[in-house]
Structure 1
Amino acid sequence: MSKRFTQFFGPVLAAAAMATMAVPAGAQDKEEEARLRKIEAEIRAIQRQVFPGGDGRFFQPEITAGTPTSNVAASNSTTAVTDILSRLDAIEGQLQRLTARSEENANSIAQLNTRLAALEVTTGAATTEAAGPTAPSANLSAMTGGASQPAVSKPATKPAPKPAEPSGPSPERLAAVQAITKPQTDDPGDDEYSYGFRLWDAGFFPEARQQLTLFLEKYPSHAMATYGRNLLGRAYLDDGMPREAAPWFLKNYQSDKGGRRAGDSLLYLSETMIALGDTNRACIALAEFGETYPALATGRLKDQYEANRRIVTCN
């Protein structure tokens, strides 16, 4: 018998146990008989609660005065105590059946809840998928010609032929690059980025691109990664390569819109579209920047933002 039913039927079973105590015959037998009938009535009431509208198709028939659960009427030698014990055995059997059925019902309900939860998850996913892209995603799709996030190595627009590379750097350039020292601190990731920044700041754009690419490959999750992607885009844009710069600016914005240089990259993305003569996408980038980063549009990047807006005419 489960703990739950033991707690629920505790008072009933305790009263029934008291009925098994030896008592004198006569008036006390009648009193115990009345108490036992009361217990049986309570059991029948419990049956009706557990099995509403129940009958013999669902559980054993209720104990009635006419049910031969006692051998008292059949044999004059059977005592009142034997009658009580027999009837208590019948009560315990009914309680066991009630307990088993209750546990089966609880298990069935738990299974139904599990299936319902799974159905809700599946329905929710289907609804989200059917809803289509949100407005920001649609804007980004427009900026990339239909792709929500173009691969970095495959820009949305067809890349122009790269200018012919020289056979190799001159001795003077090599000496100038070697003169730029690489920091040596307890943060190697920051050292790699800082060295790329120094190369870019000195105007050595190809060397800066190589160094910043190395930094992003080795430390993609570094705190300076948002700076590195933005600066890599600038190393292309400042070198007259806007097509190569655009994917890096877009990637930096999409990867972490809350990043320290995500707003900068979105604004520089508008500049690459201006340089490519794509006014429509330039306007989309500017509108996205003004909506997403109003503090930057009126603060640190205000002059650059206003200058870009003056170059193009947007609806």
Structure 2
Amino acid sequence: MNSRTRAAIVLALLGTALVPAGAQAQDGTDARLRRLESELRAVQRAVFPGGDGRYFTPEVDTSTPAPGATPAPAGPAPTAVTDILVRLDAMETQMARVTARSEETAYQLQQLEQRLQAMEAAPAATVPAPAIGVIPAPGATPPASTPTPPPSAAAAPASSGQTRAAAPSPERVAAVQAIAKPQTDDAGDDEYSYGFRLWQAGFYPEAQQQLALFLQRYPSHARTNWGRNLLGRAYLDNGQPREAATHFFENYQANKQADRAPDSLLYLAESMIAINDTNRACIALAEFGDGYPALATGRLKEQYDRNRSRVRCSS
């Protein structure tokens, strides 16, 4: 065997050994790229929710040229290196889109937080405890002693220098007694429903007392959100917007997704309008429009439009 024959055999053996090694390196690079692409898609799904593919575009799509486009000159066949570069370019594009969306979301959250801080910075109105006496049960005989009158009754000066409210008339006591209190298996709902009937009949101070009693006894009842909202309305309808605003704001802050949270926010704006606080009224209206767009064009549209027409907001 001459030297040329031995050299050819050595080169053939070297080529056989090098090809698998190169293929193995390529396989490792592809595995890393696939892992990075999978992680990036997971990040995309978290930033762009929705699994129907509307937020995602093909990474590379050169199958069909655009109409009128000049065909690209034929070049060398794609290699493993060019394929890696193309996939890296697609990953960089997706990462830029994710970053932009994250910054936009952070800005929106910052604006919402500033609005809520402005509302919370409002001086809380002091809500006086209801001063009316215990509402007599339906059919009960009125007590001999004079009950504590409702806060809306006219006050007369006493000899000690303090004021004493006038006692409710016998006709009013009889009218309150005529309102039946429900008697069902749900005692909490009965208390709320009785407060609602008092409010509906126009006995606002008595309704304030009854609803406050319901909230004290059943703080975790399913009607609690409704009770706080109705308590605010009992004050608002009785000409006490400052006291009403406190209950509306607390109800909205307690659970913004509850049934009557949007109603409380809208009535909060109405209370601010009643005390000529245009700035806070506009904040509440803007918060309502942004947070409950479906209600602003649906169930609460009439009240929303009416409140907006009563104030002039900068935006």
Please give the TM-score of this superposition, normalised by the length of structure 1: 0.53
What amino acid is aligned across from residue 288 of structure 1 in structure 2?
E
Normalized per residue, which structure has more helix? 1
Alignment of 1:97-246 (within 5 A): 134-145=110-121, 150=124, 153=127, 164-165=154-155, 166-246=165-245
Change (3 A) 1:231 1:146: closer
Runs of at least 5 residues in structure 2 that lack an aligned partner in the other structure: 1-108, 129-150, 156-164
**Greater radius of gyration (CA):** 1
Aligned pairs for 1:1-315 (under 5 A) are: 134-145=110-121, 150=124, 153=127, 164-165=154-155, 166-315=165-314
CA apart distance, 1:220: 0.7
Q: Which amino acid aligns with 2:179?
A: I
Is the Cα contact below 8 Å between 2:272 and 2:278 reproduced in 1? yes
CA contact (8 A) 2:242 2:275 kept: yes
Q: CA deviation digits over 1:95-150, x for unaligned, max 9?
A: xxxxxxxxxxxxxxxxxxxxxxxxxxxxxxxxxxxxxx954343233224357xx5
Structure 1 position 168, deviation (Å): 1.4
Helix, strand or coil at the partner of 2:230:
helix
Unaligned runs of 5+ in 1: 1-132, 155-160
Distance in 1, matches of 2:218 and 2:112, equals 28
**Alpha carbons 1:152, 1:248 under 8 Å: kept:** no
Could you tell me which amino acid in structure 1 is paired with residue 263 of structure 2? D
SS in 2 for 1:300: coil
Change (3 A) 1:209 1:279: same
Q: In the aligned structure 2, how far is the partner of 1:152 from the partner of 1:222?
A: 25
Cα shift at 1:167: 1.9
- Once residues 172 and 251 of structure 1 are traced to their aligned partners in structure 2, the CA distance between those partners, rounded to angstroms, is 35
Q: Any idea what SS the aligned residue of 2:242 has?
A: helix
Distance 1:153 1:237 in 2: 12
Please tell me whether the aligned partners of residues 125 and 243 of structure 2 are also in contact (alpha carbons under 8 angstroms).
no
Q: Give the secondary structure class of the aligned counterpart of 2:184.
A: coil
- Which one-letter code corresponds to 2:118 in the other structure? A
Cα deviation, residue 153, structure 1: 4.6
Q: Which residue of 2 aligns with 1:114?
A: none
- Structure 1 distance, partners of 2:298, 2:284, is 18
Distance 1:254 1:223 in 2: 17
Q: Distance in 1 between matches of 2:245 and 2:125?
A: 11
Q: Contact 1:226–1:252 at 8 Å: present in 2 too?
A: yes
Q: Distance in 1 between matches of 2:222 and 2:269?
A: 25
Q: Is contact 2:152-2:205 (8 Å) kept?
A: no
- The number of equivalent residue pairs is 176
Task: State the distance in 2 between where 1:144 and 1:163 align.
Answer: 32
Q: For the residues of structure 1 that align with 2:152 and 2:170, how far apart are their CA atoms?
A: 24
Give the superposed CA RMSD.
Answer: 2.3
Change (3 A) 1:136 1:168: farther
Closer/same/farther in 2, CA of residues 244 and 151 from structure 1, 3 Å limit: closer
Equivalent AA in structure 2 for residue 188 of structure 1: A
1:194 partner letter: S
- Give deviations 1:181-229, integer Å, cap 9, x for gaps: 1000000000000000000000000000000000000011111011000
User: Does the 8 A contact of 2:198 with 2:206 survive in 1?
Assistant: yes
Matches of 1:284 and 1:162, distance apart in 2: 30
CA 1:249–1:152: 2 relative to 1, 3 Å = farther
Are the aligned partners of 1:152 and 1:251 in contact in 2 as well (CA < 8 Å)?
no
